[in-house]
Amino acid sequence: MDRKEFLRKGLLGTGVFVSTAALGNVVKNNIDELRELDILGFNHIQNTNSKIMENTVLHKADTRGDANHTWLHSKHTFSFANYYNPERMHFGVLRVLNDDKVAAGMGFGMHPHDNMEIISIPLEGDLEHKDSMGNVAVIKEGDVQVMSAGTGIYHSEFNKSKDRDVKFLQIWVFPNKRNVTPRYDQISIRDVEKKNEFYQVLSPNVNDQGVWIHQDAWFHLGTFDKDAETSYNLKKNGNGMYFFVLDGEVEVAGQKLSKRDGFGIWDADKVDVKSLSNSRVLLMEVPMAA
């Protein structure tokens, strides 16, 4: 398949198109926002440097968008706020993957979202959440937080600590249902953590392990010893898998990845993973078409 044909079909089959109207009320602070675009379309380019397969995309850590606001230092895997790369808009319905560090006592004031599934995974420190539904909570390493923005919600996020940074992943996923009733949830995943295999932290099913969202997506975390090997079997036909290395080095489907590298793969039912050092990996299985 040539580049033109690939772009026409995209990674997404029928594709994901979102108008500015569909995005609704996004925040206007030039930090926590989506760039206003007429179309989010077929934009991921194949991993032309890969010798393994034609169905992959590689995002090296040092190619991410870099936004340093002094109190906030954020690395954007996909286009976000003032970082815009038309070839890095989303991976299927995975729209935002921000790697954030917030200074002590600082944070995001009240701002609106709608029609987006927003997942926060703390990596270090404590993050305080408040929202227009009356929720007040603190999430920390070992927790996962989810917010279905639905018809509209306001929330704030602040570093609870007065003397240390907080580091967390903020992930946005397009929902499969619009205008749902907003909701908030958080859980501890400490009791389900396993060594040298992936364990589920998010799914579409309210009664399944982890938090749930309005989308046919499954998130897994894995902490691996050096030389550990495992594999992941796709949950739903037509989905893709996006691997994000939190620490260490791994090999995914023959592709070597280092800390904070991202690697997407589609048209694959099973993927083998080998840990090249002590490592930790976030795996996100998401639909490639709306």
> In this structure, what DSSP letter does residue 191 have?
G
Contact partners, residue 139, CB within 8 Å, separation at least 6? 120, 122, 126, 127, 129, 145, 168, 186
63 has a pLDDT exceeding 70 = yes
pLDDT for the residue 48: 54
Looking at the chain, the whole-number percentage of residues with pLDDT higher than 70 is 81
Closest C-alpha to 229, from 250, 207, 243, 245: 250
Per residue in 140-149, pLDDT (tens digit) is 999 999 999 9
Q: How far apart are CA 232 and CA 272, in angstroms?
A: 7
Alpha-carbon dihedral sign for residues 120, 157, 148, 144 = positive
Between these two residues, 262 and 33, which has the higher pLDDT value? 262
Cα separation, 148 vs 136, in Å, equals 16
Q: ∠ CA(73), CA(78), CA(81), 5° rounding?
A: 55
Provide the pLDDT confidence category of residue 31 given band limits of 50, 70 and 90.
Answer: low
pLDDT confidence tier of residue 279, bands split at 50, 70 and 90: very high
Residues 218-233: tens digit of each pLDDT: 999 999 999 999 999 9
- Give per-residue burial for 96-110: e unless 16+ CB within 10 Å, then b: bbbbbbbbeeebbee
Give the three-class secondary structure for 206: coil
Where are the alpha helices (H) located in the chain, listed in sequence order? 3-9, 20-23
φ, ψ at 7 (rounded to 5°): -65, -35
pLDDT tens-digit readout, 111-126 = 999 999 999 999 999 9
All domains of the chain in start order, with CATH: 3-287 (2.60.120.10)
Helix (H, G, I), strand (E, B) or coil at 91: strand
The C-alpha atoms of residue 129 and residue 100 are separated, in whole angstroms, by 15
Query: How would residue 289 be classed by pLDDT, with cut points 50, 70 and 90?
Result: confident
Task: Tell me which amino acid residue 52 is.
Answer: I
Task: Return the SS3 of 3.
Answer: helix
Q: What is the pLDDT of residues 74-106, one digit of tens each?
A: 999 999 999 999 989 999 999 999 999 999 999
Above 70 in pLDDT, residue 59?
A: yes
Look up the pTM and report it: 0.85
Between CA 47 and CA 180 the distance in angstroms is 36
